[in-house]
Amino acid sequence: MLKIENVHKAFGEVTVLDGVDLTIAPGEVVSILGSSGSGKSTLIRCINGLEMLKSGRITVDDFDVSKPKELAEARKRSGTVFQLFNLYPHMSALQNITLAPIEVLKMPRPEAEALARQLLESVGLADRANAYPAQLSGGQRQRVGICRALAMQPRYLLLDEVTSALDPEMTSEVLAILAKLAAQGTTMLFVTHEIEFAREISNRIVFLDKGRLVVDLPTDRFFAADGGRAQPRVAQFLSKMRKD
Ligand SMILES: Nc1ncnc2c1ncn2[C@@H]1O[C@H](COP(=O)(O)OP(=O)(O)O)[C@@H](O)[C@H]1O
Ligand SMILES: [Mg+2]
């Protein structure tokens, strides 16, 4: 389980997460919706142990991200793909993907490379293994980013607006990969503005509003008029995001 318990986070005087509770069980796909500035990326960074909590607890399979001795184990269990392409520019796609398995998991290089090639093939990039990030399109870079996270064989895949910097065509190529992963049973925490896609692949949808998790419902209930939509903030958000 990935457990977020009563988490408070502040930057100086500004409260950014205000008592967030969220549990994700293996096999679940949970989407996080919420306006810009509501705290979605901060929550992902907290799960990665990149931010100090003011209070509360985050555990990944019982490893507490706030405890220095447990953080490495927690991190091995979750893989993150961020909004902005964060591949190492001086390394090829293959090197980007094999780096952590070799360095962190001590996987022998031939095995790591075989795994990387298999992952690249699964995202339609078998022929781009030796390309550098600058030689790849945005959509291709995000697909390599997904391979890099998957190469660590994480139990939980965290995705922070992975398509928001992409044009519609590249967005659909990346979403197709995520749909495939969801169908294979990959556990995912998915921060997105792609509401229709979230609706298709999620078991649950949660809504963050000014650092508070105000809705946590099964997907059908989230979109029902007497469910999530009954919350004015959710209704407002959904009408603003509608693409018509
Ligand atoms: N390192 C930081 N220092 C100060 N404020 C920050 C920092 N990171 C994020 N914030 C603030 O925290 C709030 C939530 O940001 P963020 O988690 O990025 O929201 P979202 O991803 O939902 O758009 C925003 O008001 C943002 O300005
Ligand atoms: Mg964000």
The pLDDT of residue 86 is 84
How confident is the model at residue 58, as a pLDDT?
A: 98
Instruction: Pick the atom of ligand 1 nearest to 161's CA.
Output: 21
Pairing assessment for the beta strands 29-33 and 188-191 based on DSSP bridges:
parallel
158 Cβ contact list (under 8 Å, min separation 6):
44, 47, 48, 78, 79, 80, 81, 188, 189, 191
CA distances from 73 to 76, 148, 201 (A): 5, 18, 28
Atom 20 in ligand 1: residue holding the nearest Cα: 37
Task: Name the residue with tokens 């490379």.
Answer: 113
- Edge-to-edge order in the sheet of strand 55-60: 14-24, 2-11, 55-60, 63-64
pLDDT at 243: 55
Query: Which residues approach ligand 1 with their CB closer than 6 A?
Result: 11, 16, 34, 36-42
Given this model, what pLDDT does residue 214 score? 94
pLDDT along the chain (244 residues), means of 10: 98 96 96 95 95 96 96 92 87 97 95 96 94 93 92 93 87 89 92 92 96 96 92 91 62
- All structural domains of the chain: 2-88+155-241 (3.40.50.300)
Residue type at position 17: L
Angle, vertex CA 53, rays to CA 51 and CA 57, nearest 5:
120
Residue to probe by mutation, ligand 1, list 11, 53, 84, 164, most atoms within 8 Å of CB:
11
